Structure 1
Amino acid sequence: MRVLVVTAVAAEAGAAAAGESAVLPGGYALTRGPVLDAVVAGVGPAAAAAATATALTAAGPGAYGLVVSAGIGGGFVPHAPVGSLVVADAIVAADLGADTPEGFLPVDELGFGRSVHHPPAALSARIAEVLGAAHAPVLTVSTVTGTAERAAALARRHPRAAAEAMEGFGVAEAAAVHGLPVVEIRAVSNAVGPRDRSAWRIGEALDALRGAFRRLTPVLAKEQP
C-alpha cells in the first residue's frame, strides 16, 4: 500500500520519507519514497487541507491507500511525555465552534458540520502497538496552547486527549473527500501549557518521528489498501 504523509515543515517530511524530490502544482514539495510519499503542507488546518487535496488530485484515483498526518506536537501531561509518540484514535477540531455563556460548543453541535474524524480503529491500534505509542485523541488547533488555563480547558473538554497539533483535521477533511482513510502520528516536543521555548525538545521529537517511520514503513508496505 502506498501512503501519502502530510507534514507541516520540511524537517518533519525528512523524518518520514527519503527519496526523489518533486514539486506539485501550487509549489508543494513532495518526496517520493518506495512506500511513502511526503508532502510539505505548511502550518495550520487550512494549509494542510489544501496541500493534501492537491497531492491526492495530482496523483490520481487509486494512487494511495492511506493518508497520514505526521509531525511533532504538544503532549498532554501525563498521557504523553516529551519524546513519546501518539497515534490518534480520534482527530478532533478542538477550536472549531462557538464560545457561549455556557461554554464552548463544537461545530457539529451547532449543526454546521463535523468536528471529529475517526481513523480506522484496527489499523490505528496496530500502528500504536508497533510504535509503543499512546492511542488517544489528537486535537487540532489553529492557535497553539500557551497558557495553563487553556490547557486545563481543553483537558476538561477532551479528558482522553494525548496531543495537540495544527494540521490533522485539515488532512482528514481532504482525505475524506477523496474517500481515503487517515491516521495521525505525533511525536511530542513539549508539554501543552504555558509557552516555554527553552523546554521544547524539537530535535528529540524529530528523532522519535524518524524512528517511528523506520519501524512503520515495512508494516504499511504489507497492508492492503
Structure 2
Amino acid sequence: MKVLIVSATPFELAPLMKLLESQGVPREQSIFYGLLEIQTLITGVGSTATAFALGHTFAKQKFDLAIQAGIGGAFDPEVRLGTVFNVVSEQFGDLGVEEADGSFTDVFELELVQGAAPPFTEGKLLNPAGEAGFLPSAKGLTVNKVHGSGKSIAAIRKKYDADIESMEGAAFFYACLLASQPFLELRSISNHVEPRNRENWDLPKAIDELNKTLIELLDTIKSQL
C-alpha cells in the first residue's frame, strides 16, 4: 500500500520522521515501513503552496491514500488542546469580497463559482470516506489570514458552521477530490480561535498528539498488509 503524508511544515511531522528514519527502509522517493510504502510531502504554508505541490505530485503519481497531518485552531473554547480530529468537510473562509459595510460575501453568494460545481457540494468540500470511527469528526474552515480579533471571530462564526480553522485544509480536499485521490485530513488543536494570545497555545502538545495518532494509524494499516 502506498501512502502520501502531507504537511505544511516539517516540524509538524518531526516525530513521525524520526520513527521512519530509525525503523524504515529508504528506497528512491519512499520509505518502506514494513510493507507500507510511505512518501512525505512538505507543501509550505497556505492554500496556494499546498494546491501547487499536490497538483504537481498527483500529476506524476497515484496513491492508495493521502493523509494531510497538521495543526489548527478550535472555535469551541471547550475543546482540549491536543485533541486530534478527522476533518470530514472543508470550506474556503475568505474567498470573496468585503462589502462597504465591512461584511463578507463569498464567491458562491456572488455566483462566481457554482456551489454544486465539482468538486463542491453546496459550496463545501466533502470527504466521500466520511467519518473515521477512531477519531472525533470536525468541519474545517480554511483561511489565508487566521482570525485574531473578537469582532472578526464573531463574524466568521456567524457566517460559517465550522469547528476548526487552518490555512491548508480546503486546498488539500480540493486537490484530492479533483484527482479522485482517496484522502484523510487529521488536525490537532494547538490553540483556540480567540483574540490572539500565543501564550495560550500549546504547539508541542498538539504536534505530539498529532504524531501519536498518525503513527497509530500507520501501524494499524501496516498490520493489515
- Tell me how far apart the structure 1 counterparts of residues 147 and 26 of structure 2 sit (CA, whole Å): 34
In proportion to residue count, which structure has more helix?
Answer: 1
SS of residue matched to 2:89: strand
| Partner in structure 2 of residue 112 of structure 1 | 112
SS of residue matched to 1:125: coil
What amino acid maps onto 1:2 in structure 2?
A: K
- Give 1:21 shift: 7.0
| Partner in structure 1 of residue 63 of structure 2 | 64
Going from structure 1 to structure 2, the CA distance change for 1:222 and 1:195 (only over 3 Å counts) comes to: same
What amino acid maps onto 2:104 in structure 1?
A: F
**Deviant stretches of 4+, over 4 Å:** 19-23, 219-224
- Tell me how far apart the structure 1 counterparts of residues 131 and 204 of structure 2 sit (CA, whole Å): 26
Going from structure 1 to structure 2, the CA distance change for 1:174 and 1:32 (only over 3 Å counts) comes to: farther
Q: Is the 8 A contact 1:16 1:38 kept in 2?
A: no
| Partner in structure 2 of residue 26 of structure 1 | none
- Tell me how far apart the structure 1 counterparts of residues 174 and 202 of structure 2 sit (CA, whole Å): 29
Q: Is the 8 A contact 1:15 1:209 kept in 2?
A: no
| RMSD value, Cα | 2.7
- Give 1:16 shift: 4.7
Going from structure 1 to structure 2, the CA distance change for 1:13 and 1:32 (only over 3 Å counts) comes to: farther
SS of residue matched to 1:110: coil
SS of residue matched to 2:70: strand
Going from structure 1 to structure 2, the CA distance change for 1:221 and 1:189 (only over 3 Å counts) comes to: same
What amino acid maps onto 1:119 in structure 2?
A: N
Structure number, greater radius of gyration: 2
> For residues 15-43 of structure 1, what are the alpha-carbon distances to aligned partners after superposition, in whole Å with 9 as ceiling and x for unaligned?
455356799xxxxxx76353342210000
- Tell me how far apart the structure 1 counterparts of residues 78 and 159 of structure 2 sit (CA, whole Å): 15
Q: Is the 8 A contact 2:13 2:211 kept in 1?
A: no
Going from structure 1 to structure 2, the CA distance change for 1:208 and 1:31 (only over 3 Å counts) comes to: farther
Once the two structures are aligned, what percentage of the paired residues are identical?
28
What amino acid maps onto 1:116 in structure 2?
A: K
| Partner in structure 2 of residue 167 of structure 1 | 168
| Partner in structure 2 of residue 158 of structure 1 | 160
Pair 1:144 & 2:146 matched: yes
- Tell me how far apart the structure 2 counterparts of residues 211 and 80 of structure 1 sit (CA, whole Å): 18
What amino acid maps onto 2:90 in structure 1?
A: I
- Give 1:98 shift: 2.1
Going from structure 1 to structure 2, the CA distance change for 1:167 and 1:175 (only over 3 Å counts) comes to: same
